Structures are given as C-alpha cells and as structure tokens.
Structure 1
C-alpha cells in the first residue's frame, strides 16, 4: 500500500443521511492498493473513493452499516428476472475507468434533484472535485455504463478487490427515473461480479432509516457488518429473498 496521508479523523459535520445527526469519519489517502489490501479494508468496513479511503466514526452512532451480497448463494428472484428481461433492450458495458464529460452531466443532474436540500450545491457544481474524487486511478477501479440507443443514461464506478466487487457510486439521468436504473445497475453489477467468480458484492453503507438506501436490502442473501464485534452476520430478513 502506498499511503499518501496517514489515517486521521475528519471534523464533525452534519450527517447527510440522518437529519439532526452529526457525522465524522476516519480517513487516509492511498496512491496504490494491492487487491488483497483492498479486500482487507472492505472486510473491515472501509470504503474507497479514488484515493480517498474512509470509514464512519460518528460519535454515539453506528447506523451506517456495511452491507454485502453473498454471490455464491445469490440467485435472481422471479421479479428480478422479469425486470432484467424488460430492460434487455438496454446496453450494459463494463470497462476500465475513464472519465467522460457525460458522466459529470449525469452526476450533476442527478445530484441537484436528489440532494438539493442536504448537500452544498457548490460540491455538485464542481466538475474538478468530481474528477478528483472518483477518477484518480489506483489500479483497482472499473466502470459500468448503461446505454439506450447509444446514449449513455447511467453509470457506476466500481472497485475490484481480490474476492469482491464494491459499488463506489452510481448515478443516472433523472429523465429516465421511471426505468429504475439504480436497481438495474445493482443487479447487473451483481451478475457481473458473479460471472467473474468473486465472493462478494459490496453495496456500501446501509442506513435503515434512510429511504434512499432501502433498495440495498433487496439483494439476498446479504450480510451486515457488526461494528462492535467486527464480524459479518447474515441479515435476519436475508433468507426470505
């Protein structure tokens, strides 16, 4: 691991997921990561955005729970198979990480619509910050893209470790909201990871009280990370499918 900045704590700030809560995280910057090193970090609740590696250390709160899908046992449900068939006219591609202007256009449109009341608009309007956050290559990133008739309408940024695929960020053009592209993206990435013979698909942090994160529990069987015991446990509802 090539660590650019040693681990430190962020300043307290308003939580973007739960109103009235404060958030804080431990973080460092890594210029290079071996696949097994990224594996270790993911297994212990860390997230990685480009060179930025972090995990929550919020005072008196552990509601951001890492969630991962067990790929060896995953099988698409009847409804998920119908959903995939309905969208089979779309083209889904997985490629090495590369920045496209269209990525930022989608990110900005999606961000303004979804986060306009919970995030500083100057962050969404900063293309350079977007590129620095997600596109500083460290050897483990790749890209998923969804096209309709040749037009890019959604994209996802992923991290691949030795045994897993981790969803870093997914965004879609709000004009196509009725197509449930977030659901399509997650399903496609799960199936892609499974085709690679990987063990897990990480969906990042799940906050039960946040309505925008409820979709993450759709994919079963999934495991939740216990911060106190530092172990992964099968979710109570995960066996129901």
Structure 2
C-alpha cells in the first residue's frame, strides 16, 4: 500500500532546554518537517514568517515567557556600508569566492572544528562529529549552496551554507578561520552575500535571529537596511536599545493560536 505525505504540514513543539543566547532562560521551538515536492514553497513561505531551516526541519522560537528572538533580514536596496564595513570589504578583496553544491569536505570540517573550538567550545554544536557536519551541509531538500572563500594560496578560510529563497538568500550557518580576527570575516561574509543578492536581483539577505541582550548577536544590528519580524510583520530596525529582552507570562501566544496564524502555501500545485 502506498502512503503519501500529508498536504498540510504538521507542527510540533520541542521540550524546553537551556537558552543558548540569554543566561538563565529556557528555550522552546515550534517546528515542522521540510519534505516532499512542496519543500521549497514551504521554506519560502515560512522564512517570510520568521522560521529558519536546519537540515529537514523548519523552526521558530516559541518560548513560554520570552519573545526576545527576532528574525532579521537586510533589505538590500536600503543597505549602505559604514566606513568600517567598507574597510572590511577592502581588506578581504583578495579572497576568491566559489559557490558549490551542498557537499561536505574534509577542509570544511577542519575549518569548522577550529572555529567551534575557538568561538563556541561550550555551545550546542561543540561535539558535532564529521558525520553530523556532513548531514548539516548535505541534508537539504531545497536549493542550497556552499559559498567558500579562499586566500591567495588557495587555503579555505571561510564557508557559508546558504539557501536560495524566492526573495533572497538565507545564511543558514557560516564559519571561518578564528586566527584571522583582524579580517572581520564574519562581517565580510555578510557583505559579500549582499553583493550576491544584489547581482541576482534578490531583495533580502536573511541573517537568522537577532537577540537583544545577547552580546554575540550584537553584530547583526550594525548593518543598515535591517528589518526584524515581530508581531507578524517585518519592520525596519529601531535603535537596538529600544528592544526588550525581559520575560513576561504573556510574551508568547498559545501554540494553537501561533499555528492558526501561520500562512501556508498551496502545496497541491
């Protein structure tokens, strides 16, 4: 007997676990599987509603008493680099960019391990082995690319797993040589993705979540043309200090209301 996947995505909620961004808080995620012929349509639609992709799953924070995490994207037409960002771009002008299919390599994993051990040694990905890394890169049911950056000697110094959406580029995960901190490679990767999106006629670059009160997320607020997704709409970023990260029992709608308010694409077409 042949069984087909349900047309309507099924949504679930993870068990609470320690928040990786704000100390002393617990995080919870609303998620659904990303599979079948309608995977790209679903990813496009839910990315516009604050969801992110991780392999074959789309998720969005749904914490019980905290709504600090805000999905962020750069409106390419409104972006103007700062003096510091122009210097960063010039400093890395010698790098060579290469876009490849989403295949994991030994060089990528070696760079990934150095990056984690230096920057996120106690994070949730710290124990990721080569097989889990390969799954992160390769398990994608949508149009994805690995953007690699090499130096003049051909050494790999930065990598970004990037999804191509119908309205932009989504930077799923990036990592780089931690010893080259003076090159500001994290900032450069974003600047280069803005250039790629502009050349492709795509209006947005999706950066993932910005979290007020989290120092390691502060760099995202330094890009002009930034928009954040809050209360069901994208709005231009205000002064970062105007956003609160305080907890409140009414911060998040009940799960049933959240799911009911998600706009889904017609997956029958």
- TM-score w.r.t. structure 1 length? 0.89
State the Cα distance separating 1:3 from its structure 2 match.
Answer: 7.2
Q: Determine the structure 2 residue equivalent to 1:236.
A: 238
- Asked if structure 2 preserves the Cα contact closer than 8 Å seen for 1:51 and 1:133, the reply is no
Matched, 1:94 2:99: yes
Q: Against the structure 1 CA distance between its residues 74 and 36, is the aligned structure 2 distance closer, same or farther, given a 3 Å change threshold?
A: farther
**Matching residue within 130, 151, 157 for 1:127:** 130
Q: Aligned-residue CA RMSD in angstroms?
A: 2.1
Matched, 1:144 2:138: no
CA distance in 1, matches of 2:176, 2:89: 17
Matched, 1:58 2:60: no
State the Cα distance separating 1:120 from its structure 2 match.
Answer: 6.7
- Note the 1:106-185 alignment, pairs <5 A: 106-119=111-124, 121=126, 123-124=127-128, 126-148=129-151, 149-185=153-189
State the Cα distance separating 1:163 from its structure 2 match.
Answer: 0.9
Larger RCO (CA within 8 A; separation ≥ 6): 2
- Asked if structure 2 preserves the Cα contact closer than 8 Å seen for 1:154 and 1:172, the reply is yes
Mean CA deviation greater in 90-99 or 38-47:
90-99
- Asked if structure 2 preserves the Cα contact closer than 8 Å seen for 1:35 and 1:160, the reply is no
Matched, 1:6 2:10: yes
CA distance in 2, matches of 1:64, 1:225: 9
Q: Determine the structure 1 residue equivalent to 2:75.
A: 70
More strand by share: 1
- Asked if structure 2 preserves the Cα contact closer than 8 Å seen for 1:49 and 1:133, the reply is yes
State the Cα distance separating 1:34 from its structure 2 match.
Answer: 4.9
**What runs of 5+ residues in structure 1 fail to find an aligned partner?**
none
- Asked if structure 2 preserves the Cα contact closer than 8 Å seen for 1:3 and 1:30, the reply is no
Q: Against the structure 1 CA distance between its residues 133 and 29, is the aligned structure 2 distance closer, same or farther, given a 3 Å change threshold?
A: farther
State the Cα distance separating 1:19 from its structure 2 match.
Answer: 0.9
- Asked if structure 2 preserves the Cα contact closer than 8 Å seen for 1:49 and 1:134, the reply is no
**What runs of 5+ residues in structure 2 fail to find an aligned partner?**
241-269
CA distance in 1, matches of 2:136, 2:213: 27
State the Cα distance separating 1:79 from its structure 2 match.
Answer: 3.2
Q: Determine the structure 2 residue equivalent to 1:205.
A: 209
Matched, 1:21 2:22: no
Q: How many residues align?
A: 233
Q: Against the structure 1 CA distance between its residues 210 and 82, is the aligned structure 2 distance closer, same or farther, given a 3 Å change threshold?
A: same
> Is the radius of gyration larger for structure 1 or structure 2?
2
- TM-score w.r.t. structure 2 length? 0.80
